[in-house]
Amino acid sequence: LTGTSREQRAFQYLLTHAIPGDPHHILQTFDQWCYHCEHLSCVGPDKGRIVERVLLEQAPLRVLELGTYCGYGTVLLAQGLPPGARLYTVEGDPQHAAVAEKVIRLAGFSEETVELIVGPSEEVIPRLREKHGLMNANLVFMDHWKRCYLRDLQLLESHQLLAEGATILADNVLFPGAPHFLQYAKTCGKYHCKVHRARLEY
């Protein structure tokens, strides 16, 4: 009725209630909106703790996120980066990207730390090195269309964009599910696999 999207309404709530430049408070305010107002398919606090733990253990200098959506996962990743690290995040939907851009900057992250790339992942991935300067990624966080997980992992492999010992963290592989991706990761012989059990967000 308002003519605005759920994502835009969530951002308006952030503007009103969140502390600018405080990533942790931005995420908390997002969570409040999603628990009490409207559901958004963000990572959420439960699975967010898994992401935070991986960041703490790995301290990756080059991170690639596939599926920016509203920027929740981006802020979560960016706040856990070690000094001098850089995050590249890819979003295929221009309207979602417009919201995410504002969320990322509201959280206090500059373009030097977080680069938002708008376009379909299958088009962006082959250009990451030449156009965006990403030689390879130490950590890849997949949270876009589940049917694209396997294709995009193989694109990253074929363009040699995975650093030695890189970690691939993929959300929602059991539900709604990415069975072909999961089967490939478990059987191709390139990866050690671990499934993290978690509740659905919110």
52 is catalytic: no
Question: How far apart (Å, rounded) are the C-alpha atoms in residues 142 and 155?
Answer: 13
Which of 143, 157, 164, 194 is flagged as catalytic? 143
Which of 31, 101, 152, 201 is flagged as catalytic? 201
138 is catalytic: no
Which of 91, 146, 186, 194 is flagged as catalytic? 146
201 is catalytic: yes
Which of 171, 186, 190, 194 is flagged as catalytic? 171
146 is catalytic: yes
**DSSP codes joined into one string, 152-190:** HHHHHHHTT-EEEEEEEEES-IIIII-HHHHHHHHHSSS
Residue where the block lists tokens 């919110």: 202
The answer to whether 7 and 71 have CB atoms below 8 angstroms apart is: no
* Residue 93: both structure tokens together: 């939907």
Which of 93, 172, 186, 194 is flagged as catalytic? 172
The residues annotated with a catalytic role in the active site are 143, 146, 171-172, 201
